Structure 1
Amino acid sequence: MAKRDYYDVLGMDRSASEEEIKKAYRKLAVKYHPDRNPGDKTAEEKFKELGEAYEVLSDAAFDRRQRTGTYAGGFHDPFEIFREVFGNAGMGGGIFDQFFCGGRADLHQAQRGADLRYDMEITFEEAAQGCEKEISVNKLNECESCQGTGGEADSKLKVCAICGGRGQVVTSRGIFSIAQTCSRCEGTGRIIDKPCHTCQGTGRRERPTKIKLKIPAGVDAGARLRSTGNGEAGIRSGPAGDLYVVLHVKGHELFHREGDDLLCEVPVTFVQATLGAEIEVPTLTGKAQIKIPAGTQSGTLFRLK
C-alpha cells in the first residue's frame, strides 16, 4: 500500500518550515471544517486528512520515522488537533470558536461580506454582440497575512472587558435602557490578544482588484450582472459578498433597439422608390444589399435576418 504524501495534502513542498506548515493547516482546516460544510462527507474526510497530515508533519521526529518506515497509525481526534492549533481563550474558546460554536448560531459567527455595485458603460455594438471586459474594483479583500482571522498565528481570543462578552453595551437613561453595539469589539464579544500587524485585526485590507467579466450578447441597458464572490471579503473568514455590475449602453448614430430587433432608417431617392432599386445598407457587422421594389412607400419596413 502506497504511503500518503502529507506534504502534498497540505499543498507544501518538503522544504517548508514548521511555521509554513502550521499556516497552511490553519487555512485549509477552516475551509473544510464540518461545521462550515454541514452534510458534506468529502469536506469531513478532507478535514480528517488535514489533521492527520499536520499531526505527522509537526512532529520533529517525522523525517526520521519516514526514512525508516516506522510511522504507524494512532492519530488523535482531528477536532482536538484543530482546537490545539487555534488555542483556547477564556470561556473555552479558541480564535475560530466564533465560527463553529458546536453548530450553534450566535453573535460571534463569521459574517458574509457586503455586496458591491459597479456601473459600467459599454458600446451599442458590445451590448448587441457580447464581449469580455476587465475592470478594476477597490474593495476589501481577505488579509493575506492572517487569512482573514484578524490575528497572528499564535493569537487567542479573550472576552471583551467593555461588554463582558455580550457584544452590546446597555446605557440607562432615566426609566429607559438603550442597548448599543459595543464599539470595542464591534459586537463580537471577543478581542484578539495579538492583532495581525498587516490589517490591525480587521482580517481585511482594501486594495484594487482586477475582475474579468463576460457580457452576453443582447443585454439591455440597465441589466445587472452578478459576479459571485467578488464583493467584499467576509468578516472573520466568512464568505465573500457578490459584485453586481450595472450596464449602461451608449447610443448609436445609425441604430436603435426595439426589443431584440435593431432598426436603422435609410434614405432613398424619389426615383429609387418609384422605379425600384438595389441599395446598400449598414449593419453591425458590415454592409448588406437589399432590393427596393417599385412603388415603395416612405416608412416601409424591410427585414434582414
Structure 2
Amino acid sequence: MSDHYETLGLSRDASQEEIRRAYRKLARKHHPDVNPSEEAADQFKRISHAYEVLSDEEKRRNYDATGDENGGAGFGGGFGGGFPGGFGGTFSDLFETFMGGAAGGGRGPASRARRGQDARVAVRISLRDAVFGSEQQLRLQTAVRCTRCEGSCCEPGTGPETCSTCQGQGVVQRQVRSVLGTIMAQEACPACQGFGTTLPNPCHECSGQGRVRDEQQLTLKIPAGVDTGTRIHLAGRGEAGPGGGPNGDLFVHVEVEEDETFKRDGDDLSTTITVPMAAAALGTTLTLDTLDGKHSVTLEPGTQPGHVEVLSGLGVTRLRSGGRGDLRVNVLVATPTDLTGEQKELLERLAELRGEEVVHGAAQHKGMFARIRENLKNL
C-alpha cells in the first residue's frame, strides 16, 4: 500500500492547508470526469483515501504512529515493537492477532459509513451585536452528502457487492512468524480495504465517497452577551461523513470588535464625556448617545474631574442568566485655554470673590491653615 504522504506529494510535517491544496490539485487532474482512464480512476481513489486519512487529526496521528489510520499495529518487516521474526506489534497486538486468527472471525467487515469531521470557523461581530445578539450569514466550504447517490457511494440503481476475496468478512489471513512461532494473522482485505464489499459502479459524482465538497450558507444565531473567546457549538452542522455517515459538529469561535466609544469590562460598559469647567461647577444636563439610543445624564453642581455617573441596566446582556450590566460614564472637566483679557479678568474676579489666590499657576484658597502658614512666615 502506498504511503499517503507520497500519494499527495507531501512531507510528513505538512500543514492541513498544504494537504487541502495538494488534494484539490491532484483531484482535478485525476477526476473521472476529466481523465476517464482506468489508471486515473485508481489514482483518484488513492488520492481521496489519502486525503480522508490525513485531513482527520485522529486518523493522521494513528497513521503516523502505526501506519494504520485506525490505530492498529503494522505487520512490517522490522522489529517495530521489539519482536523478532518480522512482527511489528506489541504483546497485546500479538495476542489479539493470534486469537483473532484462531477463531476465524476477527474484527469483521468495517462500515463505509463514518462520522464526518468537526468543522471550526471564526466570526467577527460588533459590540452592539454582542450586547443584543444578532444573526450572521456564514458561507462554509465543507463536505456534504452526495445528492446523486444519497451517500450510498454507488451509481443510482446499483449497490455494493460481496467481496470475492474475503467472502464479505473484510479480513484475510496470512502466516506471520513471531516469538510463538508461525501463526495465522488477520489483516484488512486488500481487495475491499476491509469493508467486505466492493463498488463495481461507484457514483460518478462523488467517486464512491458518498460526499462531495460544496459551499453551504448557514444562518448563525448569536446569543446576547457573547464575548471574544466564546465558542458556539452547533451539533450536526459539521462535515458530512463518508458513506452516508452522520455529520460532525460545527464550532464557531466569536471575536468581538473594539468599539470607538464604549469599552467593555465583563457585563459593564464604560465611556468618557468632557464637560466645560463652568458646566461642571454649575451643574448641567447632557444628552448621551448610548447603544440603547439617546439618554439624559444630569451632573450635579460641583462635579469633579474623575466623577463616574452610573446608568443602571445599559450595559451588556448577561449571557445565560438574563439582565444587563451598567454603563459607567467617566467625567472629564475641561480647563479653558487661550483666554481673552476680559475672560481672565472675570476669572480673577471669581478667584477674589472666593478668597483664592494664584500661586505659581495653582489656585489656593485662603483657609485657616493657609493663614496660619502665612503668619508663621512673617514671624
Q: Specify the TM-score bucket, using the shorter chain as the normaliser.
A: 0.5 to 0.7
Match of 1:116 in 2: 119
- What is the SS of the residue equivalent to 1:233? coil
Aligned with 1:156 (options 160, 183, 194): 160
> Is residue 131 of structure 1 aligned with residue 139 of structure 2?
no
Name structure 1 gaps, 5 residues minimum. 1-103
With over 3 angstroms needed to count, the CA separation of the structure-2 counterparts of 1:282 and 1:183, relative to structure 1, is farther
Distance in 1 (CA, whole Å) between partners of 2:173 and 2:275 is 78
Match of 1:234 in 2: 241
The answer to whether the Cα contact below 8 Å between 1:158 and 1:193 also exists between their aligned partners in 2 is no
Q: Please, what TM-score do these two structures have when normalized by structure 2?
A: 0.47
> Partner letter of residue 270 of structure 1?
M
With over 3 angstroms needed to count, the CA separation of the structure-2 counterparts of 1:302 and 1:163, relative to structure 1, is farther
> Partner letter of residue 257 of structure 2?
K
- What is the SS of the residue equivalent to 1:126? helix
Shift of 1:109: 6.2
With over 3 angstroms needed to count, the CA separation of the structure-2 counterparts of 1:111 and 1:170, relative to structure 1, is farther
User: Residues 264-304 of structure 1: CA distance to partner in whole angstroms, max 9, x if unpaired?
Assistant: 11122222222211112220132211100122222222222
Match of 2:110 in 1: 107
**Higher relative contact order, chain-length normalized (CA < 8 Å, sep 6+):** 1
> Partner letter of residue 234 of structure 1?
G
The answer to whether the Cα contact below 8 Å between 1:256 and 1:264 also exists between their aligned partners in 2 is yes
Distance in 2 (CA, whole Å) between partners of 1:179 and 1:120 is 48
- What is the SS of the residue equivalent to 1:302? strand
Aligned with 1:191 (options 191, 194, 198): 198
Residues 89-100 of structure 1 aligned to structure 2 (within 5 Å): none
Distance in 2 (CA, whole Å) between partners of 1:156 and 1:277 is 82
Q: Please, what TM-score do these two structures have when normalized by structure 1?
A: 0.57
The answer to whether the Cα contact below 8 Å between 1:163 and 1:182 also exists between their aligned partners in 2 is no
Match of 2:253 in 1: 246
- How many residue pairs were aligned? 202
The answer to whether the Cα contact below 8 Å between 2:118 and 2:250 also exists between their aligned partners in 1 is yes
The answer to whether the Cα contact below 8 Å between 2:115 and 2:246 also exists between their aligned partners in 1 is yes
With over 3 angstroms needed to count, the CA separation of the structure-2 counterparts of 1:143 and 1:126, relative to structure 1, is same
With over 3 angstroms needed to count, the CA separation of the structure-2 counterparts of 1:278 and 1:202, relative to structure 1, is same
> Partner letter of residue 157 of structure 1?
E
Distance in 2 (CA, whole Å) between partners of 1:297 and 1:105 is 81
- What is the SS of the residue equivalent to 1:232? coil
Q: Which stretch of the first structure deviates more once superposed, 112-121 or 158-167?
A: 158-167
Shift of 1:138: 0.6
Match of 2:60 in 1: none
Match of 2:29 in 1: none
> Partner letter of residue 279 of structure 1?
L
Name structure 2 gaps, 5 residues minimum. 1-106, 314-379
Aligned with 1:295 (options 302, 307, 313): 302
> Partner letter of residue 290 of structure 1?
V
Distance in 2 (CA, whole Å) between partners of 1:234 and 1:170 is 32
Distance in 1 (CA, whole Å) between partners of 2:242 and 2:112 is 9
Distance in 2 (CA, whole Å) between partners of 1:107 and 1:189 is 7
The answer to whether the Cα contact below 8 Å between 1:151 and 1:201 also exists between their aligned partners in 2 is yes
Q: Pick the structure with greater CA Rg.
A: 2
User: Residues 164-221 of structure 1: CA distance to partner in whole angstroms, max 9, x if unpaired?
Assistant: 854699997998x999877875553432222111111000000001111111112111
Distance in 2 (CA, whole Å) between partners of 1:268 and 1:183 is 81
With over 3 angstroms needed to count, the CA separation of the structure-2 counterparts of 1:244 and 1:267, relative to structure 1, is same
Match of 2:65 in 1: none
The answer to whether the Cα contact below 8 Å between 1:160 and 1:185 also exists between their aligned partners in 2 is no
With over 3 angstroms needed to count, the CA separation of the structure-2 counterparts of 1:196 and 1:280, relative to structure 1, is same
- What is the SS of the residue equivalent to 2:128? helix
With over 3 angstroms needed to count, the CA separation of the structure-2 counterparts of 1:173 and 1:118, relative to structure 1, is farther
With over 3 angstroms needed to count, the CA separation of the structure-2 counterparts of 1:186 and 1:289, relative to structure 1, is farther
- What is the SS of the residue equivalent to 1:128? helix
The answer to whether the Cα contact below 8 Å between 2:170 and 2:193 also exists between their aligned partners in 1 is no
> Partner letter of residue 259 of structure 1?
G
